[in-house]
Amino acid sequence: MRMQHVFFDLDNTLWDHRRNAYLTIKDLFDNQEISPKYNIDFEEFHSVYHDINEDLWEKIRDGIIGKEYLREHRFYDTFKYFGVENKELSNYFEENFLDNIVGYNELVDGAEDILVYLKAKNYKLHIISNGFQDVTERKCTLSGIAPFFETITSADSIGVRKPDPKIFEYSLGLSEAKKEESILIGDDWIADAMGAKNFGMDSIFFDVYKEDKKEAGLKAITHLQQIKEYL
């Protein structure tokens, strides 16, 4: 059966979350004069935040914690690492982070070009994201890529996250697509590549960090333009 539907993960697959988050946190850090007040270097602060945030998102993906726990702890635990236990300060960062991050809308290199290419070939394009629904939709709209997509599914839509097969089933139902005519492209090995594979859907692993993961028959790319080799 001919491939007709292309499902994309959003963060760090199309929308450059790492870059946009970095710029947003830098603004908040400077606005609150964190460096002179607490003698904390921003690059070190961001590095600690990144590791804590990645760990918390993995726990959300695995069903160990919920999104409220993540929102309560990612900045609080980062500041605590530097000896600053200040709920008001960490809450300020969390509340303003989600509001301000959509002020930066840099896309992953090649994202818009590949969407134009796929649309020209009459593929129907969709989003399946583990992010928050309202933020996911705002990211797509404000970055200008929303018109490319027929459907946008986030974890909040159904209450489960990739790699849970229920979110793939839900998104395919929403898009009226069959799994044998669909493919998922994403940067998370477990949530995207293995999640789709275990669901019985074709996938392309966007190996941004060149992790060189191996799985029989699994497609992998290191740049979005390489999608053209498969579609």
CA separation for the pair 212, 162 (Å, rounded) = 21
Q: What is the pLDDT along the chain (231 residues), one digit of tens a residue?
A: 689 999 999 999 999 999 999 999 999 999 999 999 999 999 999 999 999 999 999 998 888 999 899 999 999 999 999 999 999 999 999 999 988 998 999 999 999 999 999 999 999 999 999 988 888 999 999 999 999 999 999 998 888 999 999 999 999 999 999 999 999 999 999 999 999 999 999 999 999 888 777 776 789 999 999 999 999
**Burial class for 214, CB neighbours closer than 10 Å (0-12, 13-18, 19+):** exposed
CA separation for the pair 153, 159 (Å, rounded) = 11
CA separation for the pair 140, 157 (Å, rounded) = 16
Residue 138 has a pLDDT of: 93
